[in-house]
Amino acid sequence: MPKENKATTVKTLTLPIKWIIPDAIITRFASNILIQSIGNEFKISFFELNPEIRLNPSDKIPTEMRADCVASIIVTADRLPSFISALQKHLDTHNEIKKKETEKT
């Protein structure tokens, strides 16, 4: 006996997001970023440079610098364009404000 195929209707529900940032979250400075492609996802790691402390100018100059990972996230390829767009919009707004401030002086 053949199987009966039934059409399924899926409704899309749009809800507002309530953004919650726990008190335990530590905001870190990131001066470098590393992006790795993993199949259909991107692993984005943020690093803070920690140069060696040199108190004496005659100390040997280091041959490398330490970069500590302060955060790492994985984003799907489908969501990455909206993340990039959001970052670009904020950068554009920042640059426009800076431009107006410069023009005033």
Domain layout of the chain by residue ranges? 32-51+63-104
pLDDT score, position 104: 86
pLDDT score, position 31: 94
pLDDT score, position 54: 87
pTM, two decimals, is 0.73
* Phi, psi for residue 4 in degrees, rounded to 5: -90, 125
Tens of pLDDT along the chain (105 residues)?
556 666 667 788 899 999 999 999 999 999 999 999 999 999 999 999 998 888 998 988 889 999 999 999 999 999 999 999 999 999 999 999 999 999 987
Instruction: Fill in the DSSP letter of residue 58.
Output: T
Q: How far apart are CA 37 and CA 24, in angstroms?
A: 30
Residues 6+ apart with CB under 8 A from 12: none
